[in-house]
Amino acid sequence: MPAPTFTISQLAKEFDLTTRAIRFYEDMGLLTPERAGMQRIYSARDRARLTLTLRAKRLGLSLTEAKDILDMYDSPRDTVAQLQKFLGVLGAHRAQLEEQLAELQANLAEVREHEKKGRAALAKAQRTAKTAKTA
């Protein structure tokens, strides 16, 4: 039984991507389809790499980082080196996300403080307006 293959249109439809995006991933070296004339023929391996690439993007990794991680699994299996590289990339990414989160939390605290002051100023202005109407 032959291994399953996919066209670019099939993958685009399955993953809700444009064919241009898939060709870009190919240009980045993430996918390596076979060619039959002008037609690209993607293997189950390409489909799996596309799945993992999209997962890496959702995690916020760059395409270069995703490629580095995926390429480790194409090399001879040295689990320790692969896991060290993977954990290094994830650790750096986590640190970046934690820094962004801290910045967002600081920004939120500032916005909350301005809202609090704005509400107090509004309440004071409404009281003043109400007092002026009754006088």
Q: For 29-38, 58-67, 70-79, 101-110, which range has the lowest pLDDT when averaged over its residues? A: 70-79
- pTM comes to 0.67
124 vs 3 pLDDT, higher one: 124
Distance CA 5, CA 29 (A): 18
* pLDDT mean over 87-110: 93
- What 3-state class would DSSP assign to 112? helix
Residues 6 or more apart from 65 whose CB is under 8 A from it?
A: 56, 89, 93
Contact present, 72 and 82 (Cβ < 8 Å): yes
| Whether the predicted pLDDT of 34 surpasses 90 | yes
Angle, alpha carbons 27-84-69 (nearest 5°):
15
